[in-house]
Chains A and B, each alone.
Chain A
Amino acid sequence: MNAHSEMKVAAEVAAPASLGIVMNCQLEKVFYGDFLAVRNSVVPIEKNKITGFIGPSGCGKSTVLRSLNRMNDLIPIFRFEGKVTYHGQDIYDKKVDPVVLRRYIGMVFQQPNPFAMSIYDNVAFGLRLNGFKGDMDERVEKALHGAAIWNEVKDKLKNSGLSLSGGQQQRLCIARAIATEPDVLLMDEPCSALDPIATRRVEELMIELKEKYTIALVTHNMQQAMRVADTTAFFGVDISQGSRTGYLVEMGPTKKIFEEPEQQLTREYVRGEFS
C-alpha cells in the first residue's frame, strides 16, 4: 500500500461509525516560505467530541489546527497544499471566503486576548458582527453561563474585559467564541498561560461544551489530553530530510493512544521519553 492509501485507511480507523465527521483535514504539504512545516497528515474531526493534538514542540500541531479555520492566512508566506473539507466543501477552495468560514469555526488562543472593551461588548462582538437582531442580553448571559463565568461577572458587565484575572479572561474569550454558537471550536493550548486551578476549570468547561460543540484542542500537556480528549492525534517531527517537518504519526481513541499505541514513536512519547 502506498502512503496515500495508508492515510485513508488510518482516517477510517480513527473515525468509525460515530455522529459523523464534521471536518476532515487532508493535508499534503504546508509551507512557510520555503520551509516545509507539516507533511502528509489526515486528521478527521468528529462531531461533539474533543480531538486532542499532542506532540513535541515543532511538530506542527498548532499549524494544523490553525489551518482548520484559515487563521494561517494572516501570515503572508504561508501556503497550504491539500484539502480541508467542512460539510463537504473544501475550505481552501478559491471561492471560499475565510471571513464567512470563521463564523462557523471559532477559536480560542493561547494567550487570553479579550478586546479593550466591556465584558458585555466582548461577548456581544460576534453577535453584532453578524447582525444579530434578537435579545442580545439573553444571548450574552447564555454565553457567559456556557463559559462558567456568569456568576463572577454578572454584576460588572460594564467593566473592561481586561480587568479580569488571566483565567477569567480566558473564560471570557471562550464565552466570546461560543456566543455565536459556532459549529466547531478550535482551542490552541488554551490553558498554557493559566495557573493549575484556572486550568482545571477550563478543562471541566471543555467537557461540558462538547455536548453542544465539536472541539479540537492542541495541548503540550499529555495529562490534559488524557483527561479531556476523546480522540487523540499524535504528531511527530521528521528530521530525515535535513529540516524539521511535522507529520501525523498516529491517531485514535485516547485510551488506545496512551495505553496500546501502534507506533514506536508514539509509545516513546507517551512514556515521556522525549518531549
Chain B
Amino acid sequence: MSVSGPTVESNMRDLIAASRPAPNLHRSPLELRALKSGILTALTWIGALLASVPLFSVIYELVVAGGSRLNWETLTALPPSAFETGGGFGNAIVGTLVMVGIATLISVPLGILAAVQLAILDPDSKLTHTVRFLAKVLTGFPSILAGVFVYAVMVVTMKTYSALAGGVALAVLMLPTVVLAAEQAMSMVPKKMKDAAYGIGCTRTQVILKVVLPTGAPGILTGVMLAVAGAAGNSAPLLFTALFSNYYMSSLTEPTASLAILIFNFSGMPYDNQIELAWAASLVLVLIVLVFNVLARLVGRQKY
C-alpha cells in the first residue's frame, strides 16, 4: 500500500464527504461512550465514599467505646492486672510523652543541621545527593527494624530496656521526615534575601541563623509536627526498646510504658476491662496525633 499524496480520486471522495448531511449534535446519554463515562463516574463516587467509611467507623468506635471510659481515673491510674476492674494508663501517657520528647530533642537539631548542609552549604556535592537519597529511602524504613537496630546497639549494651532506647528508636524514624521537610523549607527561601544578607557582610553562619532559619521556620515546624505525630503513634520500635511497665517511670533507664504498647498488649486480652481501656487509650493517642497534625497545618499556613 502506498499513498504518495492526494490523487484525483481521493479529492473527489473528499469533496463528496465535505457535503455531508447536517450532523446530529444532540446528547444521547444512552450512547455507549457517554454511558461508559457515566458508569465510571458513579463507580468513582461509590469508591470515594467507601474509602471514607473506615475513617468514620474508627472515629465512631474511638468516641463511643473509648470516650465512655475517659475520666480522671483512667488518665491517672496504673494499668490493671488480669481480673481487676478500674485502673487506667496514666503511666503510659507519661511514657509516650517522655519518649516522644526525647526523640524530638535528638532528631530536630540533628535534622535541621543536616538540612542546612544539604540545602545551603553544599547543595550539589556527592555527599548531599547521597544523603538526600538515603533520607528518602529511610522514610519507608520499617519501624520495627528501627527497634531491632536500637535493641542491638543500646539495650544489649546497657543490659536493660529503657525509655532512652525507645526515644532513640523513635528519633531514627523521625529524622528523615525532619531533614527532608527542613531542607525543602530552607531551599525555598529566596536567593534575594540571602544575597542581601551577604551583601551586608554576614558570614554564612549568620545568614543561616538570621535569615534562612527564621524565614523557613514555618516549613520546618510543619515537618517537625508531622514527624512528632508519626512518632507518637509508632509502637513497633518500642517493643524491643522500652518494652512496657505497669508503673510510672522513675528513671530513663528502665522499661517504660507507652500508649501504643498498652493498646497492643491489651488488645489480645479476653477481659472487657482491658479492652475498654485499650479503646480509651486509642482515643487519647489519636487526639495527641491529631493535635500535632492540626498544629502542623496551622503553622504551615503562615507564610513569611
Please give, as numbers and ranges, the residues of chain B lying within 8 Å of A99 by CB-CB distance: 33-34
Residue in B1, B17, B20 whose CB lies within 8 Å of A137: B1
Contacts of B191 in A (CB 8 A): none
Indicate if B18 sits at the interface (CB-CB under 8 A): yes
B303 at interface by CB-CB < 8 Å:
no
Contacts A135-B1, A145-B6 given: A91-B14 contact, CB under 8 Å?
no
A101 interfacial contact with B, CB 8 Å: yes
Write out, one digit per residue, whether chain B residues 79-107 have a CB within 8 A of any chain A CB (1) or not (0): 00000000000000000000000000000
In the assembled complex, how far is the CB of residue B248 from the closest CB belonging to chain A, in whole angstroms? 58
How far is the CB of A157 from the nearest CB of chain B, in Å?
14
Contacts A137-B1, A138-B3, A141-B3 given; indicate if A96 touches B26 (C-beta within 8 A): yes
Query: Which chain A residue lies CB-closest to B37?
Result: A99
Question: Is A100's CB under 8 angstroms from B3's CB?
Answer: no
**Total number of A-B contacts with CB less than 8 angstroms?**
43
Contacting residues, chain B, for A96 (C-beta < 8 A):
25-27
Q: Indicate whether A89 sits within 8 Å of B1 (C-beta atoms), given known contacts A96-B27, A99-B34, A100-B27.
A: no
Q: Is the CB of A95 within 8 A of B23?
A: no
Contact A104 B23 (CB under 8 A): yes
Which chain B residue shows the least CB distance to A95? B26
Can you list 9 pairs linking A and B with CB atoms under 8 Å apart? A89-B25, A96-B25, A97-B25, A97-B28, A100-B23, A100-B27, A141-B3, A181-B17, A183-B18
Q: Which of A86, A100, A104, A138 has the most CB of B within 10 A?
A: A100
Q: In the complex, A101→B28 CA distance in Å?
A: 13
Q: Is the CB of B6 within 8 A of A88?
A: no
Cα A113 to Cα B215 in complex, Å, equals 38
- Residues of B in contact with A (beta carbons under 8 Å apart): 1, 3, 5-6, 10, 14, 17-18, 20, 22-28, 33-34
Residue of A nearest to B1 (CB): A138
Residue of B nearest to A97 (CB): B27
> Contacts of A137 on B, CB cut-off 8 Å?
1
The complex places the Cα of A53 from the Cα of B25 at a distance, in Å, of 26
Give bound CA distance, A138 to B25, whole Å.
28
Contacting residues of chain A (56-109) with chain B, CB-CB under 8 angstroms:
86-89, 91, 95-97, 99-101, 104
- Residue contact A91 to B25, C-beta cutoff 8 Å: yes
Report whether A87 and B27 are in contact in the complex, using a CB–CB cutoff of 8 Å: no
Which residues does chain B contribute within 8 Å of A145, judged by CB atoms? 3, 5-6
Indicate if the CB atoms of B1 and A100 lie closer than 8 Å.
no
| A4 proximal to B (CB < 8 A) | no
Within 8 Å CB of A86, what residues of B?
25
Q: Lowest 7 A-B CB distances belong to which pairs?
A: A97-B27, A87-B22, A96-B25, A95-B26, A100-B25, A101-B25, A141-B3
**Is A97 a contact of B34 with CB atoms below 8 Å?**
yes
Residue A142 CB within 8 A of the other chain: yes
- Which residues of A approach B to under 8 Å, CB–CB? 86-89, 91, 95-97, 99-101, 104, 135, 137-138, 141-142, 145, 181, 183, 212
Q: Which residue of B lies closest to A88 (CB)?
A: B22
Bound Cα distance A142, B17 (Å): 15
In the complex the two chains form, what is the Cα distance from A100 to B31 in whole Å?
Answer: 11
Q: Looking across the interface, which residue of chain B has its beta carbon closest to that of A48?
A: B18
A88 to B24, CA, bound (A): 11
What are the residues of chain B within 8 A of A104 when measuring CB–CB? Answer: 23, 25
Task: Name B21's closest neighbour in chain A (CB-CB).
Answer: A87
Separation of A138 and B7 alpha carbons in the complex (Å): 13
- CB neighbours (8 Å) of B1 from chain A are 135, 137-138
- A145 CA to B2 CA in the complex, in Å? 12
A141 nearest in chain B by CB position:
B3
Note all chain B residues with C-beta closer than 8 A to A91. 25
Contact A95 B22 (CB under 8 A): no
Query: Within the assembled complex, what's the spacing in Å between the Cα atoms of A99 and B27?
Result: 9
**Contact: B27 with A95, CB < 8 Å?**
yes
- A142 touching B34, Cβ below 8 Å: no
Closest to B17 in A: A181
> How far does the Cβ of A215 sit from chain B's closest Cβ, in whole Å?
14
Distance (whole angstroms) from the CB of B57 to the closest CB of chain A: 34
Instruction: Give the complex CA separation of A135 and B1 in angstroms.
Output: 10
Given A97-B34, A99-B34, A181-B17, are A142 and B3 also a contact pair (CB < 8 Å)? yes
The distance in angstroms between the C-alpha atoms of A139 and B168, with both chains bound, is: 67
CA–CA, A13 to B22, complex, Å?
25
Cα(A89)–Cα(B24), bound, Å: 9
Check A89/B3 contact, CB under 8 A, given A97-B28, A100-B27, A212-B14.
no
Which residues of the partner chain B approach A142 to less than 8 Å between Cβ atoms?
3, 10
Q: Is the CB of A87 within 8 A of B26?
A: no
CB closest chain-B residue, reference A129: B33
Closest to A137 in B: B1
Inside 8 A of B6's CB, which chain A residues have their CB? 145
Docked complex Cα distance between A95 and B3 (Å): 41
Q: Tell whether A89 pairs with B5 under 8 Å between CB atoms, given A96-B27, A100-B27, A212-B14.
A: no
Chain B's closest residue to A138 (CB) is B3
Q: Give Cα A101 to B26, complex, Å.
A: 9
- A104, B25: Cα distance in complex, Å: 9
